[in-house]
Structure 1
Amino acid sequence: MPPQLKLTAITLDCSDPLALAAFYQKATGLAPAQGSTADFAGLTREDGLFIGFQRVDDYRAPHWPEQAVPQQSHLDFAVDDLDEAEALLLELGAGKPEYQPGGDRWRVFTDPAGHPFCLTGS
């Protein structure tokens, strides 16, 4: 039997780890990780999942849906109320691209560093 893999961390490249960690902390309520610095910051969930944000020199934000700078990965979040969550995220500094392929099923946003992420109703 092959070993079972358990996802423990996701790390996003960015130019300002502390600012991006603050955005996601306000959006998700995850706890700030101990030892965050200007070069690497993180958030933790009660079950141990860690979301990290690492500084990259000359960081280039993804352009969605264009692929000049591809998204490479994105996060998906389930929410009870899409409209309420959208209002909060836009207030926190998220962007909402004009192109929305999900119809009523999901919505695409970009975080302050340009990473696309999606919200879906739970």
Structure 2
Amino acid sequence: MLMTLTAVTLDCADPLALADFYHRATGLPLHERSDAEFAGLARGPGASGLFLGFQRADDYRPPSWPGQDVPQQLHLDFVVDDLDEAATRLVEWGATVPDFQPRPDLWRVVLDPAGHPFCLTLPRRPEA
């Protein structure tokens, strides 16, 4: 059996605001059926594309980083060409960069406006 990942959905307090942040960060278009309860970004039609969803959760509490008082539950990784430039742009759009960075030379931990941690990584270089 082969499974194909088609969607990832994050809990949050404001789905439209979080969808707007990730739209700016990824360029994925806002799904036409987005509303205050559930918003999404989609690349490609049907199961062949990726859907990134944001669902409103009552009493949402953002994950803690690096502690685990409120577990992360999951995090996303994004490849970027320049860690500093990407982090700066994301902060302009509402993200924060926590002080604790396990390997700032290889990746950066960033918190989206709802507090979800995600990582920015550099493209893998072919081994010689």
Category of TM-score, reference length = shorter chain: over 0.9
Supply the distance in 2 between the matched residues of 1:7 and 1:66 (Cα, whole angstroms).
28
Q: Deviations over 1:24-55 (max 9, x none)?
A: 00111011112001000000123510000000
Residue 15 of structure 1 is matched in structure 2 by 13
Q: Which consecutive unaligned segments of at least 5 residues does structure 2 have?
A: 124-128
* In 2: Cα distance, 1:94 partner to 1:17 partner: 15
Letter of the 1:66 partner, please give it: G
Number of corresponding residues: 120
Q: Does 1:45 align with 2:43?
A: yes
**1:92 paired residue number:** 93
Once residues 53 and 67 of structure 2 are traced to their aligned partners in structure 1, the CA distance between those partners, rounded to angstroms, is 25
1: CA distance, partners of 2:31 / 2:3: 23
* Structure 1 residue runs without a partner (length 5+): none
1:117 corresponding residue in structure 2: 118
- Aligned-pair Cα RMSD in Å: 0.8
Trace 1:58-73 onto structure 2 (pairs within 5 A). 58-73=59-74
CA distance in 2, matches of 1:114, 1:101: 18
Q: TM-score, length-normalised on structure 1?
A: 0.95
